[in-house]
Amino acid sequence: MVHISDGVLAPEVWIAGYMVTGVLLAWTLRKMRAYDIPRLSIITAAVFVASLIHIPIGPTSAHFVLNGFAGVMLGIFSYPSIFIALTLQALLFQHGGITTIGINTVNMGVPALVAHGIFKLGSTTKIQRKEELFGAFAGGAAVFLAVVLLSVALLTTGREFEKVVMLIAAAHVPIILIEAIAVGSIIAFLKKVKPEIIGVKA
Amino acid sequence: MRRLIIAALLLLLVSGVACAHRVHIQPEVGRIDIKVYFGGGDPAQNFDVKVYRNVSGVESLYAEGKTNETGWFSFEPTPGGTWRVVAEGLGGHRAETVIDGTVMGGAGSITGEVPLYLRVIAGIGYLVGLAGAATGYMGWKARKGVENDSVP
């Protein structure tokens, strides 16, 4: 789920996906420095293997995405991170297609950028345990948004939209909850042991 | 950074037992039965299946239907030609395979696949290489800076 295979979308849709991904990669990579890459590699490794953990739900199965986790941990560099992870997944697992790497990166990477925004904005509030709360919210919201974007992409195939959205969304409820809890817990852990990693002053 | 590595490693460990979401089609002999399943073996239920028959380069739709709850779909072939089977399902999943005479003769299994754990190691290897290259570059720059500073 969330990864669209080759041959499903019309060429104009996946070409548009590559164009959007190209623009976002150019923007984010211009800001990247060499010292950002080791951290990016570690988080990308987690995103790369996350899709291997999947839960069969009804007639389909849903897997972990970790795009919200990438967004919170990497900020705007989550976009190139997800692009690399999806490229490796497509080449090594045949998970998703080659033509659809661009659109799949949009579907998972844009929510990662939104998750980064949610976490950053949340961190400026005065709420108690704001990092944990907004981290969890960002983690869950990113998966939900990925499902919405996937559904919009599939809408262009002109079939079964409402049924698909409902089924995909339902299949992802456990994933959304688990990822929210996971990201919130990781943030709580990092806040305690290494707060500067998540941009919190000790 | 060390704590971050530990957190990431814990995530990686949790994922070690699972399997990919790849969609497969496994042909078998006789009345042609095809099984559609996700990586890891979960059956792909209720997938739309279309079977195309190719005779001398001319392809036509031969049979269509849906997989059952165990991921199976069957059709009775006419001798001659090859068969292209396309399975599509919920959420943008799609797989395609061609069944030719050799498969119909009894060799109905998909072979030559690299084990999943090796593919996981390969992917992580690329990422370690990327991190290593960046670290090497930083080291080279730092060294260059020190050398430049030492020049009077």
Nearest to A69, CA basis, from A189, A169, A186: A186
**pLDDT band for position B32 (50/70/90)?**
confident
DSSP A90: I
What does the pLDDT look like over A57-108, one tens digit per residue? Answer: 766 678 899 999 999 999 999 999 999 999 999 998 888 889 999 999 999 9
Distance from CA of A3 to the nearest CA of B (A): 7
Output B135 or B8, whichever has higher pLDDT: B135
Nearest-by-CA chain A residue for B47: A59
Residue A140 pLDDT: 95
Q: Are residues B140 and B68 in the same domain?
A: no
Q: Is there a domain that residue B40 lies in? A: yes
What is the C-alpha to C-alpha distance for residues A124 and B78, in angstroms, rounded to an integer?
69
Cβ within 8 Å of residue A11, ≥6 positions away? A99
* Chain-chain contact of B116 with A52 (C-beta, under 8 angstroms): yes
pLDDT above 60: residue B82: yes
Contacts of A66 in chain B (CB under 8 A): 11
DSSP string for chain B: -HHHHHHHHHHHHHHTT-----EEEEE-SSSEEEEEEETTS-B-TT-EEEEEEEETTEEEEEEEEE--TTSEEEE-PPSSSEEEEEEEETTTEEEEEEE-HHHHTT--S---PPPHHHHHHHHHHHHHHHHHHHHHHHHHHHHHHHHHHH--
Sketch the domain layout of chain A as residue ranges: 11-51+59-198
- pLDDT tens profile A105-117: 999 999 999 999 9
Which two tokens mark A120?
Answer: 């950053």
Q: Which residue range is the domain that position B148 belongs to?
A: 114-152
Nearest Cα to A178, choosing from A87, A100, A63?
A63
Mutate to test the interface with B, among A5, A77, A147 (most CBs of B within 10 A): A5
**pLDDT tens per residue across span B88-107:** 887 778 888 888 755 544 33
* Co-location of B126 and B84 in the same domain: no
Residue B29 lies in a domain: yes
| Greater pLDDT, B69 or A118 | A118
Radius of gyration of chain B (CA): 25
Residues B32 and B84 in one domain: yes
Average pLDDT of chain A to the nearest whole number: 89
With 0.80 as the threshold, say if the pTM is over it. no
**Residue B42 forms part of a structural domain:** yes
CB spacing of A48 vs B124 below 8 angstroms: yes
Query: How many structural domains are present in chain B?
Result: 2
DSSP A59: T
In CATH terms, the fold of domain A11-51+59-198 is Arp2/3 complex 21 kDa subunit ARPC3 (1.10.1760)
Average pLDDT score over residue span B3-30: 62
pLDDT tens digits for range A115-172:
999 999 998 888 888 999 999 999 999 999 998 898 888 888 776 666 777 777 888 8
Backbone angles phi and psi of B96, in degrees to 5: -145, 140
Chain B contact probe: residue of A52, A89, A191 with most B CBs at under 10 A: A52
Predicted local confidence at residue A1, as pLDDT: 62
Which of A197 and A143 is assigned the larger pLDDT?
Answer: A143
